[in-house]
């Protein structure tokens, strides 16, 4: 992309993953060395934490471009907890107690 912006030919084909959010979620353990449930906690994290995790992703994989994941709105931060129960992972709304399964 930089080569195109600078008006010069590209030295190589860029490396990209069409669905970065799926790859990031499904390979969280390999990329960050943590349980996959931490992916869902990260979605509700502060912006600095998002940047830190994206840096880790780019350090682990030779990607030239990524599409950021659409995180929940800032108003949702601190209002959801990720709970692992048995083989499942659930998002629990701390205001209502409602649960939604997000991972088997």
DSSP per residue, 4-40: HHHTS--SSPPPB-TTHHHHHHHTHHHHHSS-THHHH
Q: What is the pTM of this model?
A: 0.75
DSSP 79: S
Residues 7-25 have pLDDT tens digits of 888 887 777 778 888 888 8
Q: Could you tell me which of 47, 15, 17, 54 has the C-alpha nearest to residue 32?
A: 54
pLDDT value of residue 1: 64
Other CB atoms within 10 Å distance of the CB of residue 72: 12
Residue 64 φ then ψ, to 5°? -95, -25
Residues 31-41 have pLDDT tens digits of 999 988 899 99
> Per-residue pLDDT for 94 more than 90?
yes
- Residue 81 near residue 37, CB atoms below 8 Å: no
């Amino acid at each position: 992309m930089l080569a195109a912006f600078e008006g010069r030919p590209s030295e190589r084909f860029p490396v990209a993953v069409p669905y970065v959010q799926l790859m990031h979620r499904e390979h969280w353990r390999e990329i960050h060395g943590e349980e996959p449930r931490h992916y869902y906690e990260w979605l509700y994290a502060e912006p600095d934490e998002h940047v830190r995790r994206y840096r880790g992703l780019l350090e682990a994989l030779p990607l030239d471009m990524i599409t950021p994941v659409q995180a929940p709105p800032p108003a949702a931060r601190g209002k959801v907890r990720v709970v692992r129960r048995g083989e499942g992972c659930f998002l629990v709304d701390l205001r209502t107690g409602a649960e939604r399964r997000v991972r088997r």
